[in-house]
Amino acid sequence: MAVSLLFLLTLPLGAQHFSNNIQPDELARQLTSVMTDQLLLGQVLMFGWDSNLVEDETLDWIDLGLGSLKIFGWNGRDNQVLAETVGSYQQQALQGPYGIPLFIATDQEGGWVRHVTGRTSVTPGNMAIGASGRAYDSYTSSKLIAQELRILGVNMNFAPDVDLYGNWETSIVSSRAFSSDPHETAWLANAWFHGQQDSGIIATAKHFPGHGFGDKDSHGGLPVINRDLETLMAADLVPYEVLIQQGIHAIMVGHLAFPLITGEPIPASRSHFFLTELLRHDMGYKGLVITDDMIMQGARQGDESLPELCELSLKAGADLILISRSSDTHRRIWNYLLMKMQEDGDFKNRVRESAYRVIRIKAMDLKGPNAVPIIPEQQDFSQLLPHGDMRNFNLDLAYRSATQLRGEGFQFSRDDKILVVSEDRRFAQHGETYFNNADFLLVPGNPQPGELTAFRLNLKSKMQNYDRIIISYSGGREGFLLDELEPWADKITVVLTRNPYWIFNIPWCRSALATYMDSDETIEVAMAILAGNLQPQGILPLKRGDHF
């Protein structure tokens, strides 16, 4: 930090600088009026980097003016190293000509989307919050997650996920959703937003205008969603309306096609109608529009090159273009967009407009007493993470959210002979705690040819030896067992540790519990419920059908 302070002392009196104590609007106007094309462009791009260490190439990008970085899963495994790396990158940014710090973003939704790992907490997630039905749980979960992020120097979080759980045939949203109900989603998402905001983290609602009814994962292709505008306004857009009214500063647009609205199957991430006409003009949104990763296949429809697609997104109204990797891709996009700015005055003005919005939000959120420290303090993160209140809160939320999907209560006898079948050894550990006679069969993780068949035959041969069988089901390898176990349906209880929809795949199942996540706390609570120590409290936050 001493280097940046020394740099500030060398500035001429009255020079434009991010540290100037003026209103965010005016500061952003002043800075964007004097910035070079290269510096303007840098403010509208967000890059990933390839390791958890400081990379010279990323430092070079920051020297050129890059204004934002995104932490992906491959960057976030060692918290100590991550904090040091973030600090080095921010030091470099502060030494730039206007001292503008970086957005440091990540995906830390709670539940199974958690890009900063290491010692950070695993929470029950959004659908567990929906099952508890308490805004308190949403706010507290968000605030505790935010407290962990801020000590690492993360100042922007791509959460909450406000997609409705609509198309149960796809798994990309599943338990990331709060609910299938738009008003319930809006209420809980608003509490989540305030938990981030009150901790100084910039919350980012996603995936506009709504991924929940998509027919596929936008990482692998372009979801085509056949919903008209009236339906969208009455459902998927309700959470955005509420969050915009509450003052959210960032919204992520998804690579999602709505041909009944736009007349063509193009991603919303480059649709002028969605980003400018609807979101800006009709819904009155004044914050940042951030694209989902442009490397995703859902973005790359048509004959345009990736740099051209980034240009189209900016022209449509996006403010911040996210590109995860690689170095060659970053270089091609940068060079192409810089050339376009020099050739096309209208496009340059469009970039300047977005750079203004970026700097305005930075001035609003990265300065002041509640802001995330730009340079993370050098601390012993093994003493700080996980957050001290998280364990007890997660246990409480796991208990309040656990939901009986089928059956009429659980109360296995402590002396029953129990067989626990799972690909997760933690089920065995907790089974031994709650039952006197519990055996465990581990589902093969990386099976060799024939190994799954042998496992299935072994399991079937053991079924008659047990009073009760508990099978955990995450939608993974356990699924291959279920079709052949119907003859023992009276003995079997299935614990769904992710998506409750997977019960649809087991029509014969008569006893089922949903935990919505496979964290230590949700597994512990599940076994306590099956042992009769607790009663499930959650209410399924989805419309019930004949399958439940």
Instruction: Note the pLDDT of residue 548.
Output: 55
β-partners of residue 252 are: 290
Instruction: Note the pLDDT of residue 4.
Output: 39
Domain span holding position 82: 2-20+38-383
For the segment 246-263, the average pLDDT, to the nearest whole number, is 97
Q: Which two tokens stand for residue 407?
A: 């059956």
* Among candidate residues 373, 470, 374, 464, the one with its CA nearest the CA of residue 418: 470
pLDDT in tens, 363-391: 999 999 999 999 999 888 988 999 999 99
Pairing of strands 403-406, 512-514: antiparallel
Res. 11: pLDDT tops 70: no
181 and 275 together in one domain: yes
Instruction: Note the pLDDT of residue 10.
Output: 43
Q: Which string of b and e fits 127-149 if b means at least 16 CB within 10 Å? A: bbbbbbbbbebbbbbbbbbbbbb
For the segment 330-351, the average pLDDT, to the nearest whole number, is 98
Res. 480: pLDDT tops 90: no
Task: Please state, in angstroms and rounded to a whole number, the distance separating the CA atoms of residues 193 and 179.
Answer: 16
Percent of the chain scored above 70 by pLDDT? 96
Instruction: Note the pLDDT of residue 86.
Output: 98
Considering Cα of 291, then 295, then 299, then 305, what sign does the dihedral take?
A: positive
pLDDT in tens, 144-177: 999 999 999 999 999 999 999 988 777 789 999 9
Instruction: Please report whether residue 31 resides in a domain.
Output: no
Instruction: Please report whether residue 548 resides in a domain.
Output: no
Res. 1: pLDDT tops 60: no
366 and 489 together in one domain: no
Task: Please state, in angstroms and rounded to a whole number, the distance separating the CA atoms of residues 314 and 330.
Answer: 16
225 and 144 together in one domain: yes
500 and 403 together in one domain: yes
Q: Which two tokens stand for residue 150?
A: 């801020």
Q: Which of 329, 349, 383 is the last residue of a domain?
A: 383
233 and 344 together in one domain: yes
Between 220 and 65, residue with greater pLDDT: 65
Res. 414: pLDDT tops 70: yes
Between 345 and 11, residue with greater pLDDT: 345
Instruction: Please report whether residue 323 resides in a domain.
Output: yes
160 and 190 together in one domain: yes
Q: Is the preceding peptide bond at 160 cis, omega within 30 degrees of 0?
A: yes
For the segment 427-447, the average pLDDT, to the nearest whole number, is 89
Instruction: Please report whether residue 27 resides in a domain.
Output: no
Between 336 and 221, residue with greater pLDDT: 336
Quick one: the chain helix, strand, coil %, rounded to 5?
45, 15, 40
DSSP 280: I
For the segment 271-290, the average pLDDT, to the nearest whole number, is 98
Res. 50: pLDDT tops 80: yes
For the segment 459-475, the average pLDDT, to the nearest whole number, is 93
Percent of the chain scored above 90 by pLDDT? 81
Beta strands in 301-363 (DSSP E): 321-323
Q: In what order do the strands lie in the sheet with 468-473?
A: 403-406, 512-514, 492-496, 468-473, 417-422, 437-442
pLDDT mean across residues, the chain? 93
Instruction: Note the pLDDT of residue 52.
Output: 87
Res. 541: pLDDT tops 50: yes
447 and 369 together in one domain: no
- Assign residue 299 a region (left: φ > 0; alpha: ψ between -120 and 50; beta: otherwise): alpha
Instruction: Please report whether residue 427 resides in a domain.
Output: yes
Residues serving a catalytic function are 219, 292
pLDDT in tens, 98-119: 999 999 999 999 999 999 999 9
DSSP 282: I
Length of the chain: 548
196 and 61 together in one domain: yes
Task: Please state, in angstroms and rounded to a whole number, the distance separating the CA atoms of residues 314 and 306.
Answer: 13
Pairing of strands 492-496, 321-323: unpaired
Name the least confident of 188-197, 293-302, 347-356, 487-496: 293-302
Considering Cα of 524, then 527, then 529, then 533, what sign does the dihedral take?
A: negative
Q: Within 10 Å of residue 28's Cβ, how many Cβ atoms?
A: 23
Give the CATH number for residue 514: 3.40.50.1700
253 and 305 together in one domain: yes
For the segment 78-88, the average pLDDT, to the nearest whole number, is 97
Q: Which of 350, 383, 416 is the last residue of a domain?
A: 383
Using the structure block, give the residue that is written with the tokens 């959120």: 365
187 and 322 together in one domain: yes
Instruction: Please report whether residue 500 resides in a domain.
Output: yes
Instruction: Note the pLDDT of residue 12.
Output: 41
Domain count, the chain: 2
450 and 317 together in one domain: no
Res. 522: pLDDT tops 80: yes
Beta strands in 257-358 (DSSP E): 288-291, 321-323
Instruction: Please report whether residue 543 resides in a domain.
Output: no
pLDDT in tens, 12-46: 444 799 999 999 999 999 999 999 999 999 999 99
Name the least confident of 77-91, 340-354, 462-476: 462-476
Look at the pTM and tell me if it is higher than 0.85: yes
Give the CATH number for residue 66: 3.20.20.300
Instruction: Please report whether residue 537 resides in a domain.
Output: no
213 and 102 together in one domain: yes
Instruction: Note the pLDDT of residue 544.
Output: 62
Instruction: Note the pLDDT of residue 545.
Output: 56
Task: Please state, in angstroms and rounded to a whole number, the distance separating the CA atoms of residues 154 and 92.
Answer: 16
Q: Which of 361, 383, 405 is the last residue of a domain?
A: 383
pLDDT in tens, 208-219: 999 999 887 788
CA distances from 460 to 66, 136, 286, 421, 503 (A): 59, 45, 60, 12, 21
Q: Within 10 Å of residue 151's Cβ, how many Cβ atoms?
A: 18
Tell how far CA 409 is from the center of its chain: 33
